[in-house]
Amino acid sequence: MKKFEFAHIAEGIARQAGALLRGFYAKGVATEYKGDVDLVTEADRASEQLIVEKLKAAFPTHGVYGEEGTRSGLESEYRWYVDPLDGTTNFAHGFPAFCVVLGLEKRSAGLAPDADGEMAAGVIYDPLRDEMFSAERGKGAWLNGRKIHVSKTASLQESLTATGFPSKKRHESPNIHFYNEITLRSHGVRRAGSAALDMAYVAAGRLDGFWEFNLNPWDTSAGYLLVEEAGGTVTHFDGGKFTLDSRETLVTNGLIKKEIVHLFTEMFAGRELTAIPSAAEFAAKRMAAE
């Protein structure tokens, strides 16, 4: 393949899917549920259908693994992970934070179907801002043709991070504790509702870190490569090697990784939990500062 050919073609497909999504977004869509609480819309399905058709036309020997049910050619050397609309809940409510995600994995001969290959290319496209994040292995990370790099923020205290919460069984998720601890130790935590965009923003230096439980390969595949090509890290919460089937995703600019891994380790062990100051304590501190 020519330089950037995978990413270049994926960009064109993502733009077409993004145009389709803009049309649905402008007129509004009816929502359905897949499972108890996960939303899906006709826009999700139409976008996946378009993407799969275009990928098959461009790369007839490649496999496709899509969020909305497409499973074809998974034994192929190359496999595309497709999220046709990451941020469906935002989309359905008219909140302008969603994207199209295509991540390409290269798989060696004889690799087990559920084992990881190597991410070869990825694109994340925000159709409302017309921002195309793209990467190919060894060739850097790019935003609308401009090379991007992770931030140089060196401490958690000076960081802006992001996270996400599950759509189901939120009362059982431990993430509210992580959210509390990181919020108290940083400039803040954002929760915009699109994991792929959060990872792209770490790659572009807009965020210094991101973490979330229970993401899927179509959420993380493109962002995984994008962040690494931009100089950042994607790992498990303990700093170990990331896998596409991981239930833990920790993304950093590399400089704050050690600090966050230490904090998460302490939290899992039940240590270093910081109580939220009372209103009286807040008032006392404010008066003392004045």
Q: Which residues, in sequence order, are bridge partners of residue 235?
A: 241, 250
**Is 38 annotated for ligand binding?**
no
Distances (CA, A) of 88 to 83, 104, 271: 10, 22, 36
Whether 273 and 177 have beta carbons less than 8 Å apart is answered as: yes
**Is 104 annotated for ligand binding?**
no
| Alpha-carbon span 127 to 46, nearest angstrom | 15
Whether 125 and 14 have beta carbons less than 8 Å apart is answered as: yes
**Is 86 annotated for ligand binding?**
yes
**Is 111 annotated for ligand binding?**
no
| Alpha-carbon span 13 to 200, nearest angstrom | 18
**Is 198 annotated for ligand binding?**
no
Collapsed DSSP state (helix, strand, coil) of residue 152: coil
Name the amino acid, one letter, at 29.
Answer: V
Annotated binding site: 67, 83, 85-86, 219
Annotated binding site for Mg(2+): 67, 83, 85-86, 219
